[in-house]
Structure formats: C-alpha cells, structure tokens
Amino acid sequence: MTKGTEKLSLEGRVAMITGAGAGIGMACARLLGGRGAALALVDRDPDALASAAQTLKSEGIAVNAQVVATIGQRKPTHAAFADGVAQAGRIDILVNNAGLYLRTPMAEIDDEEWDRIFDVNVRGLYHLSIAAAEHMKSNGWGRIVNIASVDGIVPFPGMAHYAASKAAVISLTKTFGAAYVGDGVLVNGVAPGAIDTEPMRIGNHIARLAETVIPMGRGGQPEEMAEAVAFLASEAASYCVGETLVASGGLAYR
C-alpha cells in the first residue's frame, strides 16, 4: 500500500455483498477482496454464487462465506445475514447490491410486479440493513453501502416501479445514516447510471441510452461502480454519512 492510500485498504475487514454472482456485485467482490477484505457472498442463484466464489478464490481472494438466499421478506433475510456471520465470524461491511430490474410501461404495471420490485429492492434492503447495523454497532465500526440508481433521481416512465423503489433506497440511506452514525456505522449509497450488465443489454437498451441521453456517450462498467463502493466502504469516506454518490456519466444532469 503506497503512502496516501492507506485509508483505502480493507485489510482485516469482512464484507458481505448481495447479488454477488455477476455484474456490479461481482465487480465489488473482486475489488473489495483485492483491497484486503475477506468476503461473504450472497446470491439467489447457487450456480452463479459457486462460480463467482471459485473465480475469486483462484485470484487469491479470501471467500469466507457463501449464502444462497433470496433477499426480501424479514425472516429469510435476517436468516441469510445470520448465516453469513456464522460462516465468516463477523460482518464489517455490507454492500446491498441485490435488486430486481424490470422495464414495463406505467399503465401495464400490475400489483404483482410492483410488489416483486419493492420486496427485493426495498424490503430486503431494509431488513438486511437492520440486521447488519445492529450487528456492526456492537463492534463500534461498520459500513453499509446501498446500490440505488439514477432512475431514483431522473424520471423514466418505462420503469416507474423500479425508479420509485430506488428513490426509496436513497431515502433509506439518509435515514439509516442518521440513525446509526452515533454507533460508528456509516451508511451511504451509490446511484449508478446505465451500466453495461446483462439486463441492460436486452433489446440493445444501453446502446440506445448511450446514443441519446448519456453525455459521456457510453454506458458505465461494473468496475467503475465498484470503485465508488470501495471508497465508501473504507476509512477514506470517514466524513460521509447518508450520502448517495451519483455515477451516471452525466445522465442525472442532462
């Protein structure tokens, strides 16, 4: 570690990352692990989870826990966190990355689809954050980083339920930040723009956005979002609480 970067080190920390099997979650796992954190990986897809863990271990990254779980309702979500603690010993950093992304015209969103979005993106994040913050405050130190979205800031009628759920994530980030800062637990968020992941490639969606509404003229990479997450998970972000860092290539301000 070179002088001036010591505060970015995550040596000795244990990081739980949800939705770790691919995309932003996998990029976060690789970067946080590369900076010294041992990992507790969570994903609903057992095959994706096993593959991610195997890849990371082959790169010399410590994977201390693997938890197959669907984040949402209280009981299974708290159980998933407890499983991660049981395997890894403790959790110092939580990255709430798991989320459901659906594009549906406003007039066609039914109650079932609305509930599916909010169950994962809001309810699951809330319950996991409660479990993590209560665990972390007993150690006097913790970091929770929520993955929100530029859609929670900029109106997109083609995904109103997703956008509303991510606006809720931004609000919860502020509330959790205020609630736990006195316990040494700092809660912040990252609001990615259009990121080059599999769901965004469906229907050539990301390419169209890059051509029409993203000032930088390209989608972001998962690794770029991981850099923001790693900063907020570190000592370098010691004066950040309740903040949501927007990383959208200028999309949020077009």
C-alpha span between 42 and 56 (Å, rounded): 14
The H or E element containing residue 82 is helix 74-88
C-alpha span between 214 and 150 (Å, rounded): 12
C-alpha span between 35 and 9 (Å, rounded): 5
- Looking up tokens 């050539």 gives 204
CB 170 within 8 A of CB 191: yes
Catalytic residue annotation: 162
105 dihedral zone (left: phi>0; alpha: psi -120 to 50; beta): beta
Q: What is the DSSP string of 42-74?
A: EES-HHHHHHHHHHHHHTT--EEEEEE----SH
